[in-house]
Amino acid sequence: MKTKSFQEEIYSDILIIGGGIAGATTALEAARQGLEINMVIKSAGVEGSNSYWAQGGIVSFGDDDDPELLREDILQAGDRINNPAAVDLLVQEGKKTVDRLLIKELKIPFARSSPDKLDYALEGGHSRRRILHVEDATGQRIITAFYKRLRQFPNIHFYFDHTAVDLLTVPHHSRNPLSYYRPPRCLGAYVLDNKSRQVKKFIAPYTVLATGGCGGVYQFTSNPRTTIGSGYAMALRAGARIVNMEYIQFHPTSLYHRDADGFLISESVRGEGARLKTRDGRTFMEKYSPQKDLAPRDVVTRSIYQEMINTNSNYVLLDLVSYARIDIKKRFPYIYRTCLKYGIDITKEPIPVVPAAHFCCGGVLVDLWGRSSLKGLYAAGEVACTGVHGANRLASTSLLEGLVWGTRVAQHIAENFRPELPCNPSQIHPWYYPKNEEPVDPALIHQDWATIRSTMWNYAGIIRTSKRLERARADLEYLKHRVDKFYQEAPMDPEIVDLRHGLLVALMITYAAIANPESRGAHFRQD
């Protein structure tokens, strides 16, 4: 039995779901055009997004660089199943957008090699030093500057601590039978206020998904734990096209420590010369790639995985101190401080590391303007699949993609803006709450997540086989019956909403991996 209660309806020209670089860029560019924007953000503050935690930096052009070289590096990392038009767009627009938005407008204090020269870092898969960075905390500086700027616009309204539950679509959520005769269209979202536990209807003629990725469905991840792919799940239920979900990129180096929960050791550490070694001190990347420790991420990850098996070890070592020609504390202050907290002094000893789920190269299929296959729905950033990354993303291109597509989404909406909604909002279904007031038992949620995460790590992780994937499918499908029932009967709770999203995303990855027998980039089959 379900009941209806008063439901707040909140209107805007654009609803943006997610608060990382893609959402923030869309908001800024659309706000300048005078559009009213609601931003729904799951976390209580700005630090909930992957963008905030990005260490390495953002791709620009180095001194001896050439657009053609960057293009080739992106295609090579992506195993040439990238969308060439999207790669060209990123290469053409990237540096211009960085200069205009980040350097001129937000005044991000990118590191300099001399007072009038920017410092360019190197990362795996790049043939040139071309990555702008602010020490090793680039994302924090960019996102903090963005929100300072966004708060100057009275037409941007922030809804922190709000969890998107489902996209509102017509005809699906319409009570008007005539709406079946019109093309499906998105007009906002049902959103849970995490504090009041009330579901609000956010209504807008344009909705932008900028919810980030889904590393949180894996046992080991560099992402914040709350990054569970809500955007993919909502888009799938709304009927938008989703592609390439099997291409889950694993970052080769996260800190191996019981309490560190996937703390990233930036690829730029290897860019400054660090080398991977087995626990008994042997380098090994020369066996696997001519690019050695700076090979693309998928290659380095699988090499580490293989060496861990060969040496029967749970981790390998990343040795910076023996090779670095830099002031380690100055170049990597954040990594230095964090490792020290866990008892590892990176100026004196190698860092124990393991791979961790890091980035989803697939997602909601969008065109060069960020339009999805569902009218009224745009996507930008990691949740979107523009095709830039193909089967494996080149390091430090994700902030850039969010910036470029965030700009284009805002531009497209502003240039084509029509305020009409596809149906009268009074015809949209109210949210029905279950009558059950009994609080959710956290042990159930904890155990369900443990099952999802270990299943994904062991059966749909770095190395995949038909048998493992089939086992993942069966176990996750079984769990889905229980979680769907749990969701329908329990009082509204952000934890359950996320569990339902995350389980669907785990299934999406698993089904995509089953359907693709070919090893390419981050999807590696061993059967």
Catalytic residues: 297
CB 185 within 8 A of CB 375: yes
396 makes contact with ligand SIN (CB under 6 A): yes
Least distance from C-beta 498 to ligand SIN, angstroms? Answer: 23
- According to CB under 6 A, which one of 56, 125, 296, 363 is a site residue for ligand SIN? 56
Least distance from C-beta 265 to ligand SIN, angstroms? Answer: 8
338 makes contact with ligand SIN (CB under 6 A): no
Determine the Cα–Cα distance for residues 516 and 519; give it in Å rounded to an integer: 8
By CB under 6 A, which span of 112-120, 235-243, 392-400, 448-456 interacts with ligand SIN? 392-400
By CB under 6 A, which span of 75-83, 265-273, 320-328, 400-408 interacts with ligand SIN? 265-273
60 makes contact with ligand SIN (CB under 6 A): no
By CB under 6 A, which span of 54-62, 81-89, 346-354, 502-510 interacts with ligand SIN? 54-62
Least distance from C-beta 146 to ligand SIN, angstroms? Answer: 18
Least distance from C-beta 397 to ligand SIN, angstroms? Answer: 7
- According to CB under 6 A, which one of 12, 38, 49, 55 is a site residue for ligand SIN? 55
CB 124 within 8 A of CB 267: yes
Least distance from C-beta 20 to ligand SIN, angstroms? Answer: 13
CB-closest chain residue to ligand SIN: 56
Could you tell me how many residues of this chain bind ligand SIN (CB under 6 A)? Answer: 9
Determine the Cα–Cα distance for residues 398 and 300; give it in Å rounded to an integer: 19
- According to CB under 6 A, which one of 26, 49, 303, 398 is a site residue for ligand SIN? 398
Determine the Cα–Cα distance for residues 284 and 303; give it in Å rounded to an integer: 8
- According to CB under 6 A, which one of 166, 267, 307, 401 is a site residue for ligand SIN? 267
And the tokens for 433? 């709450």
Q: How many helices (H) and strands (E) does the chain have?
A: 14, 22
395 makes contact with ligand SIN (CB under 6 A): yes
Least distance from C-beta 277 to ligand SIN, angstroms? Answer: 18
CB 190 within 8 A of CB 166: yes
Determine the Cα–Cα distance for residues 278 and 314; give it in Å rounded to an integer: 11
Count of other CB atoms within 10 angstroms of residue 445: 18
CB 253 within 8 A of CB 346: no
Beta carbon nearer to ligand SIN, 203 or 274: 274
Residue count of the chain: 527
Residues 6+ positions from 181 with CB-CB distance below 8 Å: none
Look up residue 254 and give its DSSP letter: E
- 314 burial level (CB within 10 Å; 0-12, 13-18, 19+): exposed
Beta carbon nearer to ligand SIN, 122 or 192: 122
Least distance from C-beta 272 to ligand SIN, angstroms? Answer: 12
- According to CB under 6 A, which one of 140, 163, 179, 268 is a site residue for ligand SIN? 268
By DSSP bridging, strand 432-434 and strand 117-118 are unpaired
Beta carbon nearer to ligand SIN, 57 or 171: 57
Cα-based angle 389, 391, 394 (whole degrees, multiple of 5): 45
Q: Tell me, what amino acid is at 257?
A: H
List of E strands, 471-520: none
By CB under 6 A, which span of 254-262, 366-374, 394-402, 472-480 interacts with ligand SIN? 394-402
Determine the Cα–Cα distance for residues 189 and 380; give it in Å rounded to an integer: 17
- According to CB under 6 A, which one of 174, 223, 266, 386 is a site residue for ligand SIN? 266
User: What are the residues binding ligand SIN (CB under 6 A)?
Assistant: 54-56, 266-268, 395-396, 398
